Structure 1
Amino acid sequence: MRFAAALPGGHQRDDGRGHQVERPADLAAAIDAAAGTLIAVLESAALRHQVPPTQLRVLTLICGRPETNVNGLAELLDVVPSSASRLCDRLEATGLLRRVADPRDRREVRLVPTAAALTLLGELAERRQRAVQAVLDRMPVRMQHELLLALAGFARAATSAPEQQTDPAVQTA
């Protein structure tokens, strides 16, 4: 896939095999800009909620980790436990979170999202998907397919071990 048309002043070079590739800095800048745009689209879908973004993040983290307690949440958020506890207090006061004793160890208190929290997160996910779909609908089908392939490749590369290359500045297009 070639990104030169999307890059202001994009520079291409031949990789020695007849493929045109972008300079990594230009490509990284274009991806960063696109990621910023995607984040803005996703955040715009969340603006309709009365729940602050930090609290939405807490609910999302707790939903993905059913064994979470306040100390675990503090680690996930990289904050001190007292700050995590205050966040939980606010969520509990709005009816989005409950603290329950762990049935295996009554000394442990688990954080559990309420049905209202699950509904809220479900609505948010639907709104975000609709917002992204609205943007995709304005793209040609071919570009949608190329974007999907590129994102899948990016995800694979991000989760795999880095390979040794003879010239790390040269990437195939």
Structure 2
Amino acid sequence: MISIGDATLERATGSLTLTQFRALRVVVEHTPVTGTRVAADLGMNPSSVTRACDRLVTLGLLSRARNPSNRRETLLAPTAKGRQLAEQVNRDRRRVLAGILDRLDPDSRAAVVAAFALFTDAADGKD
């Protein structure tokens, strides 16, 4: 799973670290969002997230703006290019996983899909 994630990220971006891409994904999913929220979602130090987001802004994948309701906060939002990149990586990952599942016989495929559902529930804290 990790090698699939790494390979699809490398093909799509070539220049982003996993941390930078994870930050981009959080911003895409929760836009607009503060860097503090991104850091909390990733379980990372805010200064590390700030550096990752600085790089994403430089690459034109994120934009920053002052929060109109709290001028001390800066909001992050994906640019069209950033949103497209996140969507491309997600499509590539789904395509690769679908190809792997297609190579399994129907019973094995059903078992793997069921196991992934259980894994997802456990990761989300569901019983």
TM-score normalised by structure 1 residue count: 0.63
1:41 correspondence with 2:4:
yes
CA 1:145–1:94: 2 relative to 1, 3 Å: same
Is residue 70–residue 85 contact of structure 1 (8 Å, CA) maintained in 2?
A: yes
CA deviation profile, 1:12-62 (whole Å, cap 9, x unmatched): xxxxxxxxxxxxxxxxxxxxxxxxxx2222322222122222111110111
* Amino acid in structure 2 at the alignment position of 1:160: K
Task: Tell me the residue number matched to 1:160.
Answer: 126
In 1, the alpha carbon distance for the partners of 2:74 and 2:43 equals 19
**Cα-Cα RMSD:** 2.0
In 1, the alpha carbon distance for the partners of 2:31 and 2:24 equals 11
Task: Tell me the residue number matched to 1:130.
Answer: 95
1:52 correspondence with 2:17:
yes
Matched residue of 2:33: which SS?
coil
Unaligned stretches of 5+ residues in structure 1? 1-37, 162-173
Q: Which of 138-147 and 115-124 deviates more? A: 138-147
In 2, the alpha carbon distance for the partners of 1:77 and 1:149 equals 27
Higher helix fraction (1 or 2): 2
CA deviation profile, 1:46-102 (whole Å, cap 9, x unmatched): 221222221111101112222421233333344443332222211111101111122
CA 1:41–1:74: 2 relative to 1, 3 Å: closer
Q: Which of 110-119 and 142-151 deviates more? A: 142-151
CA 1:144–1:68: 2 relative to 1, 3 Å: same
In 2, the alpha carbon distance for the partners of 1:88 and 1:155 equals 28
In 2, the alpha carbon distance for the partners of 1:40 and 1:150 equals 19
In 2, the alpha carbon distance for the partners of 1:155 and 1:84 equals 25
Residue 114 (structure 1) aligned to one of 70, 76, 79: 79
* Amino acid in structure 1 at the alignment position of 2:31: P
In 1, the alpha carbon distance for the partners of 2:94 and 2:67 equals 34
Matched residue of 1:83: which SS?
helix
Is residue 8–residue 92 contact of structure 2 (8 Å, CA) maintained in 1?
A: yes
CA 1:42–1:80: 2 relative to 1, 3 Å: closer
Unaligned stretches of 5+ residues in structure 2? none
User: Aligned-pair distance for 1:135?
Assistant: 0.9
Is residue 42–residue 132 contact of structure 1 (8 Å, CA) maintained in 2?
A: no
